[in-house]
Amino acid sequence: MEYNDLRDFLRLLEEKNELIRIRQLVDWDIELGAISQESINRIGAAFICENIKDYGNTSCKRVAMNYLGNWRRIALALGMNQDAHPREMVHEWRRRHKELIKPVLLETGPCKENVVKGKDVDLLQFPIPKLHARDGGRYALTWHIVVTRDPESGWMNVGTYRGMLLDKQNIGMLLSPFQNWGIHAEKYLNRNMKMPVSVALGVDPITIMTSATPYPAGICEYDVISAVRKEPIQLVKCETNDLLVPARAEIILEGEISLDSSTFRMEGPFGEYPGYYSSFDSTPKPVFNVKCITFRDDPIFTSGLIGCGPHSKAADCDYMGAVTLSAVTWDQLELNRVPGVKDVWFDEDIWGTNVFVSINKAYYGHPRQVAFAIWSPPSGVYVGKYVVVVDSDIDIHNPKKIWAAIANRTNPSKDIVVIPHTGGGPLDPSVHPDIKMVTGKIGRWDRVLIDATWDDTWEERPEWGGINHPPSCLSGEDEVQIVRKKWRQYGFI
């Protein structure tokens, strides 16, 4: 790969005119988040702030944001041609993650250049932003990876889960039992143990992309990262626990989480991935007690705005999620042996909620199998509220053509299937807050399949050219060829 870590990648972006260095004084309180939002809405530039209010003389003085916020930068992250189509990125991701590669363990690495332990730990040395005005606090963890280990099997998991700064040594965490580290947490709880946790900030793009993607329980994301990088990621052991973290990450936080609910502290609200506050209640959450921080010289803190909603352009988590969610969902269809899948796409404007699939329809009920396969895995709880299945002639990367297929090929009473009373994304703003309070950890959705494929129960007709649906009225290729030859003669330029 052309880069080994975040620094290399930012250098690469700078060479390609994709990175802005902000030397003007910027406030960590609201201004940084607003710059990120405006940057997303203007040209989507990546930026690094090097002069942050109150952070001229601290261990960490700079913050990078938006570094994956357009298709060109995702292509660069994957080492692909900058003009590559997102569909190609999905194919590339799937090709690479098929053969997992083990990471390598080094004795030490740049992330250990500075070590702070015990009572010297001070998270306020890092320019943690308050991103949106009504957030419950400064969000320490938005663009990072969280590493935990299964106490029975030793399986190490890497995921991205938000965390709000509580004080110099503590961060309140959103710990969902439906996520992979939730499986670990339950086992530590049953053993009456605290859960060892390590966090890395300032990781390379493939690492953050993989961490934010639902791989099945039992898979260690470091193996996936290595596969997608096409070389083993270099890891080091933490100072105070046996978790492994990327050797070239900017900042490592080591500590533990108590799962005893009497130790929980208030966290939230936060401007969440659908682009809304799902509720204004802060609620008691598990606390990540940080016991050791290691970091590179002049470390780069990372942060991210999560999600866009209908009023803003897509943020980096939306771009990367569209590619990786499409890749793992396609795997899910393959795992369930659903045949004829031609393309799978989660639009970057709606992280995870709507998914489009095109198929070569082979038999009666085929589109329903697509929907059921997407809904079946644990991560199906929060993805795919709407599944739209179209025939393979429809370009699912073009939402207008999906609408055209829905207009032309559905009869709603039979082709729009509503599955009521399913689980759903807990942060979805359409789930009433009272229901969230009742259910606590899970949203309640109805799910919808829109089957916009032609009805295959119709008979073939000679006047339709032997097919079983109305034929296209477009001029044929041979007819158009003739007029193309005479194009200029008609007076067109």
Ligand X SMILES: Cc1cc2nc3c(=O)[nH]c(=O)nc-3n(C[C@H](O)[C@H](O)[C@H](O)COP(=O)(O)O)c2cc1C
Which of Mn ion, ligand X, none does residue 327 bind to, with CB < 5 to 8 Å depending on kind?
none
Residues binding ligand X (CB under 6 A)? 142-143, 157, 159-162, 174, 176, 179-181, 212-215, 304, 306, 317
SS3 144: strand
Burial call 216-230: b when 16+ CB within 10 Å, e when fewer: ebebbbbbbbbbbbe
Across the strands, what pairs with 200?
A: 145, 252
In Å, how far are 167, 181, 187, 461 from 195, measured between CA atoms?
Answer: 20, 10, 9, 66
Enter the tokens of residue 9.
Answer: 């990648």
Site of tokens 């939230």: 268
Closer CB to Mn ion, 220 or 427, in the complex: 220
Which of Mn ion, ligand X, none does residue 212 bind to, with CB < 5 to 8 Å depending on kind?
ligand X
Closer CB to ligand X, 188 or 454, in the complex: 188
Q: Give yes or no for residue 210 binding Mn ion (CB under 5 A).
A: no
Q: Give yes or no for residue 332 binding Mn ion (CB under 5 A).
A: no
CA-CA-CA-CA torsion sign (214, 220, 221, 223): negative
Closer CB to ligand X, 218 or 470, in the complex: 218
Closer CB to ligand X, 304 or 424, in the complex: 304
Closer CB to Mn ion, 170 or 180, in the complex: 180
Closer CB to ligand X, 251 or 402, in the complex: 251
Distance, CA of 199 to CA of 181 (rounded, Å): 13
Q: Which of 172, 311, 143 is nearest to 255 (CA)?
A: 172
Q: CB 178 → Mn ion: shortest distance, Å?
A: 12
Which of Mn ion, ligand X, none does residue 213 bind to, with CB < 5 to 8 Å depending on kind?
ligand X
Which of Mn ion, ligand X, none does residue 410 bind to, with CB < 5 to 8 Å depending on kind?
none
Radius of gyration in angstroms for the set of CA atoms belonging to the chain, rounded to a whole number: 24
Which of Mn ion, ligand X, none does residue 236 bind to, with CB < 5 to 8 Å depending on kind?
none
Which of ligand X, Mn ion, none does residue 195 bind to, with CB < 5 to 8 Å depending on kind?
none
Q: CB 184 → ligand X: shortest distance, Å?
A: 10
Closer CB to ligand X, 293 or 305, in the complex: 305
Distance of CA 257 to the CA centre of its chain: 24
From 33-41, 53-61, 157-165, 395-403, span contacting Mn ion (CB under 5 A): 157-165
Which of Mn ion, ligand X, none does residue 317 bind to, with CB < 5 to 8 Å depending on kind?
ligand X
Closer CB to ligand X, 306 or 388, in the complex: 306
From 85-93, 152-160, 340-348, 411-419, span contacting Mn ion (CB under 5 A): 152-160
DSSP code string of 253-297: EEEEE---GGG-EEE-----TTSS-S-S--EEE-EEEEEEEEE-S
Closer CB to ligand X, 44 or 367, in the complex: 44
**Residue from 142, 157, 176, 329 in contact with Mn ion (CB under 5 A):** 157
How would you list the strands of the sheet with 300-302, edge to edge? 19-22, 46-49, 62-65, 300-302
How many residues belong to the site for Mn ion (CB under 5 A)?
3
Closer CB to ligand X, 127 or 271, in the complex: 271
Distance, CA of 220 to CA of 310 (rounded, Å): 34
Q: CB 205 → ligand X: shortest distance, Å?
A: 12
Which of ligand X, Mn ion, none does residue 179 bind to, with CB < 5 to 8 Å depending on kind?
ligand X
**Residue from 180, 213, 303, 326 in contact with Mn ion (CB under 5 A):** 180
Which of Mn ion, ligand X, none does residue 169 bind to, with CB < 5 to 8 Å depending on kind?
none
Closer CB to ligand X, 116 or 217, in the complex: 217
Burial call 30-69: b when 16+ CB within 10 Å, e when fewer: ebbbebbbebbeeebbbbbbbebeebeeebbbbbbbbbbb
Q: CB 175 → ligand X: shortest distance, Å?
A: 8
CA-CA-CA-CA torsion sign (399, 92, 204, 99): positive
Cβ-contact 238, 199 below 8 angstroms: no
From 2-10, 150-158, 199-207, 224-232, span contacting Mn ion (CB under 5 A): 150-158
Distance, CA of 103 to CA of 150 (rounded, Å): 18
Cβ-contact 389, 449 below 8 angstroms: yes
Site of tokens 């992309």: 209
* Amino acid making up residue 65: M
What are the helix (H) ranges across 154-237?
A: 180-190, 205-211, 221-229
Fill in the per-residue mask, 213 to 252: x = in contact with Mn ion (CB under 5 A), - = not in contact: --x-------------------------------------
Cβ-contact 291, 257 below 8 angstroms: no
Q: CB 212 → Mn ion: shortest distance, Å?
A: 10
Q: CB 317 → ligand X: shortest distance, Å?
A: 4
**Site residues (vs Mn ion, CB under 5 A):** 157, 180, 215
